[in-house]
Amino acid sequence: MSPIAEAIEEYSKNLPKGVELIAVSKTFPKEDVEEAYNCGQRHFGENKVQELDEKYEALPKDIKWHFIGHLQTNKIKYMASYVYMIHSVDSLKLLQAINKEAQKHNRVINVLLQVHVAQEETKFGLLEEELYGMLAEGCWRNLQNVEICGVMGMASFTDDMIQVRAEFSKIKSIFDKCKVEYFNDKDSFKEISMGMTGDYKIAVECGSTLVRIGNGIFGKRYYQM
């Protein structure tokens, strides 16, 4: 068995029921995606629009593509016809722009609201209070072509696993609060996207439903995009 096949099998076996594995294929060639696909993997993640678009064109059309990178409004149009879920919505403006592009294709795009809980300033996302402010304002309720499916977040890049756990727990509590206050009647609001190769086990313990694994499946990335 190839290393990719072995890794897919291992993750699929070890993740609890209800936790979806997203294979993050950024920087890896489409042959690697194909190999994972041939093992039954269907959810893949990319963080650059152009790279996503090239892979989408070349690969089987039943792949569910997750966009997990920072997104500019002018790039939405390239993936609006096919993207399965956008994890990185960090403003009302972006949410409205996604809605508009989805409308042009007569479809509904799944989105997650990205929350910022990590220490680093470089990580994107809404601060907790900004998120509640946006939901309280209510404008999102009129957007027919986006489905808000939950939240996404990242922990700080640190070896301190106590801190990582505290941050994932924070994301879970933010999800719970949003659920109770705004999405209690919406079954589709159920996803918590958190956990990468180095910290996914903790993320799952804290309630993750979508883990985003790159290195752990495809091997070492030699450059960071």
Ligand X SMILES: *Cc1c(COP(=O)(O)O)cnc(C)c1O
Chain residues binding ligand X by CB under 6 A are 24, 26, 47, 68, 196-198, 212-216
For residue 78, what are its two tokens? 């390239």
Rounded CA-CA distance 204/215 in Å is: 18
Query: Considering beta carbons, is residue 91 or 197 the nearer one to ligand X?
Result: 197
Q: How far is the CB of 88 from ligand X (least distance, A)?
A: 7
Residue nearest to ligand X (CB): 214
Residues 6+ away with beta carbon under 8 Å from 76 = 97, 98, 101
Query: Considering beta carbons, is residue 47 or 99 the nearer one to ligand X?
Result: 47
Q: How far is the CB of 161 from ligand X (least distance, A)?
A: 15
Q: How far is the CB of 47 from ligand X (least distance, A)?
A: 5
Q: How far is the CB of 113 from ligand X (least distance, A)?
A: 14
Query: Considering beta carbons, is residue 88 or 99 the nearer one to ligand X?
Result: 88
Phi-psi region of 63 (alpha: psi -120 to 50; beta: other; left: phi over 0): beta
Query: Considering beta carbons, is residue 27 or 145 the nearer one to ligand X?
Result: 27
Rounded CA-CA distance 76/72 in Å is: 7
For residue 20, what are its two tokens? 């979806």
Query: Considering beta carbons, is residue 156 or 215 the nearer one to ligand X?
Result: 215
Q: How far is the CB of 189 from ligand X (least distance, A)?
A: 20
Residues 6+ away with beta carbon under 8 Å from 102 = 80, 108, 109, 145, 146
Ramachandran angles phi, psi of 171, nearest 5°: -60, -40
